[in-house]
Homo-oligomer: A and B are copies of this chain.
Amino acid sequence: MVPHRVPRWPSWLFRASPGWAQTARALGAWVPQGRWPGSSRGAGAASPLARRGCSSMPSQPPKVMLTQERYPVRRLPFSTVSEQDLAAFERIVPGRVTTDPGELEAHNVDWLRTVRGCSKVLLRPRTSEEVSRVLRHCHERNLAVNPQGGNTGMVGGSVPVFDEIILSTALMNQVISFDDVSGTLVCQAGCVLEQLSRHVEERGFVMPLDLGAKGSCHIGGNVATNAGGLRFLRYGSLHGTVLGLEVVLADGTVLNCLTSLRKDNTGYDLKQLFIGSEGTLGVITAVSILCPPKPKAVSVAFLGCPSFAEVLRTFCTSKGMLGEILSAFEFMDAECMQLVGRHLHLARPVQESPFYVLIETSGSHAGHDAEKLGSFLEHALGSGLVTDGTLATDQRRVKMLWALRERITEALSLDGYVYKYDLSLPVERLYDLVTSLRARLGPRAKHVVGYGHLGDGNLHLNVTAEAFSEPLLAALEPQVYEWTAAQRGSVSAEHGVGFKKRDALGYSKPPTALRLMCQLKALLDPKGILNPYKTLPTRA
C-alpha cells in the first residue's frame, strides 16, 4: 500500500520533510488557531468581505459608488415602500423588518465592493409561508424585491440596484432532514454551505459542491446561481444533484417540488427552471440535494509546470491515470501566486514556475489511491510535465494547499478594482486570451491573471487596476466577449449574469434563446418584481 518510490521523485514528496515544516510555518501565518479561511467560524458580522472570510480589509474602506451613478440604468416604475407597507411587513415577519441604514449597508453593497443599491428595507422571513405572504403583498403593491442569500455573488446579482426590498434568507437556516441511506439532504434555503458540509460530513457524506465562499454563501443562493465550484469535475452540475426545490413564485404561490427522489419523470422537471435563474423567476425557499458518500482518502498534489502546454498534458495524463478518483484539476499562473503571497502572505510550497496545478484525488481506499497517485506523479516528473511538486494527505495540509487556489479571489480584491471574467473555453485555448490581453494592456493594468477549473474548461480571467476606469473597461469589453464567442465559449461559465453581464448574453446565446428567456420571465413574473435589472438581456 506504500507508494512505489523511484530515485527521480524527491523523497520529501511522500513524508513530512523539513521543507514541509518550513512551508507549514510560512503558511501558518494565515491560518491562526486553525481557523480555515472562508470559514464562518470567527467571521465577524461587519462587512460582506469579512463575512466571506477575509480578515485583512482596510479599517475604513472608501464608499462604493451607487450602481445607478456608475452604470447607465433607469429605475423601473415600481411603487416605493410606504409606511403602510412597513406595517404590513411587520405583521408578516414581526421584529424582522430592518430599516436602519447602518445595518442595511452590508446588504446594499456586494462583497467585491463594486455595486451598491439604496434599499431602505430588509426583511428576514423564517418560513416559506412568510416568504409567500411577503411576495403576495409586494405583487399586489407592485413593489420590487431583491432576494438575497449570503451576498457572495460575483456579478452584482445579490444586491439591489435601486430601492428594491431586500428579502434575506439568513434566518431560513434549518436542516429539515437527512437520509443516512440515500444521502439526501433537505434544508431551508438560507443554510450556509459550510455548515451543511459539517452536518453531512458528520454522517459520512459530503456536499456535492464546494467553493471559496463556503463560509458565507447560502445553499439557496448556490442553487439560484447554479454555482459550479471545486467539486464540479467529480460530482457534476446542480442540475444533476439537486433533487427537489420549494420555490415561492412572484405572486406568492408556493410551488412544492421538494421531492427527495433520485428519479422522477412525472412530467416537466420544473425545478430545473429555477436552477440558475438568479431569483428572477421565483424565490427558492428549500432545497433537496443528493450528497455523495464521504471519500475515505483525500490527497492533494500541488505541482509546478514549465508552460501551459505541460499543464494541458498533465491534465490529460491525470485523467487517464487517476480515473475515477480524480476529483479536482485546478490551475493558476505565476502572477496569481505572487498576489496570494503579497496580499495574504501565503508561501509558495514549490519552486517558482510559470504555472501551478492543484490535483485532488478522493477515493474509498487509501492504499489504492496512493498507488495510483504515486504512479501518476512519478510519470509526470519523469516525463518533464512537472518540474516540482508537493503532496498532502492529512486534512490540515490538504486545506493549506487548497487555500492557495481558493483565496486568489480575495488576494485580487485586495489588489485594487477587479475586472472579472469567468469564461468557458475549449481547454486547448484556455490561456491564450490571458497572454494576449497582458501584452495588449501593458501598464494600464496592474495585473492580468488567469486561473480556474481547468478540468471543466473554466477560466477565471481577472484584471486589476488602482480604481475603476471607463477607458480600461472599454479596452476589455467587448473584446474579451468577442474572443470568447469566436471560440464558441461561454461569457459566464459559473458566475452567472446578475447585473453586470446582462449585455454580454448575446455573445453566448442566440436571439431565439434570449426571446424565450424573456417569455419565461413574463410568464412567471408578469410584473417583473423579482430581482429586476438582472439576468435578462436589456434588449431581446
Stretch from A193-201, A347-355, A512-520 forming part of the interface with B:
A512-520
Which of B319, B493, B513 has a CB less than 8 Å from the CB of A270?
B513
Q: Is A84 an interface residue (CB 8 A)?
A: no
Which of B261, B269, B456, B535 has a CB less than 8 Å from the CB of A263?
B456
Q: Is A125 an interface residue (CB 8 A)?
A: no
Q: Is the beta-carbon distance between B323 and A363 smaller than 8 angstroms?
A: yes
Q: Is the beta-carbon distance between A269 and B323 smaller than 8 angstroms?
A: no
Q: A275: which B residues are within 8 A, CB to CB?
A: 269, 272
Which of B259, B272, B363, B365 has a CB less than 8 Å from the CB of A273?
B272
Q: Is the beta-carbon distance between A265 and B513 smaller than 8 angstroms?
A: no
Question: How many chain-A residues does the 8 Å CB contact rule pick out?
Answer: 86
With A and B bound together, what is the CA distance between A491 and B510 in angstroms?
A: 37
Q: Is A508 an interface residue (CB 8 A)?
A: yes
Q: Is the beta-carbon distance between A268 and B261 smaller than 8 angstroms?
A: no
Stretch from A59-67, A68-76, A248-256 forming part of the interface with B:
A248-256
Q: A263: which B residues are within 8 A, CB to CB?
A: 228, 232, 237, 424, 453, 456-458, 490, 493-494
A265-B496, A456-B262 known; A513+B256 contact, CB < 8 A: yes
With A and B bound together, what is the CA distance between A504 and B264 in angstroms?
A: 13
Which of B320, B491, B523 has a CB less than 8 Å from the CB of A523?
B523
With A and B bound together, what is the CA distance between A427 and B182 in angstroms?
A: 8
Q: Is the beta-carbon distance between B269 and A239 smaller than 8 angstroms?
A: yes
Q: Is A266 an interface residue (CB 8 A)?
A: yes
Q: A440: which B residues are within 8 A, CB to CB?
A: none
Which of B237, B259, B296 has a CB less than 8 Å from the CB of A488?
B259
With A and B bound together, what is the CA distance between A267 and B531 in angstroms?
A: 13
Give chain B nearest CB distance to A234 CB in angstroms: 9
Q: Is A112 an interface residue (CB 8 A)?
A: no
With A and B bound together, what is the CA distance between A253 and B511 in angstroms?
A: 11
Q: Is A325 an interface residue (CB 8 A)?
A: yes
With A and B bound together, what is the CA distance between A320 and B180 in angstroms?
A: 12
A388-433 interface (Cβ within 8 A of B): 424, 427-428
With A and B bound together, what is the CA distance between A255 and B520 in angstroms?
A: 14
With A and B bound together, what is the CA distance between A259 and B273 in angstroms?
A: 18
A284-310 interface (Cβ within 8 A of B): 293, 295-296
The residue of chain B having its C-beta at the shortest distance from the C-beta of A204 within the complex is: B320
Q: Is A257 an interface residue (CB 8 A)?
A: yes
Give chain B nearest CB distance to A375 CB in angstroms: 9
Q: Is the beta-carbon distance between A424 and B261 smaller than 8 angstroms?
A: yes
The residue of chain B having its C-beta at the shortest distance from the C-beta of A179 within the complex is: B426
A264-B493, A266-B505, A512-B255 known; A316+B181 contact, CB < 8 A: yes
A263-B494, A266-B491 known; A523+B513 contact, CB < 8 A: no
Residues of chain A at the chain B interface (Cβ within 8 Å): 181-182, 225-226, 228, 232, 236-237, 239-241, 253-257, 259-270, 272-273, 275-277, 281, 293, 295-296, 316, 319-325, 362-365, 368, 371-372, 424, 427-428, 453, 456-458, 488-497, 501, 504-505, 508-510, 512-514, 516-517, 519-520, 523, 535-537
In the complex, 25 of the A-B residue pairs with CB atoms within 8 angstroms, ordered by the A residue number, are A181-B316, A232-B263, A236-B236, A237-B263, A240-B240, A255-B513, A259-B490, A260-B488, A261-B424, A261-B457, A262-B458, A264-B424, A265-B494, A266-B501, A266-B505, A266-B509, A267-B537, A268-B273, A268-B535, A269-B272, A269-B275, A272-B273, A293-B323, A320-B364, A364-B372
Beyond A236-B241, A266-B501, A267-B517, 12 extra complex contacts between A and B, CB < 8 Å: A182-B427, A226-B269, A236-B240, A253-B512, A260-B488, A265-B492, A266-B490, A268-B517, A268-B520, A293-B319, A323-B365, A364-B372
Q: Which 4 A-B pairs have the closest CB atoms?
A: A240-B240, A323-B364, A272-B272, A264-B490
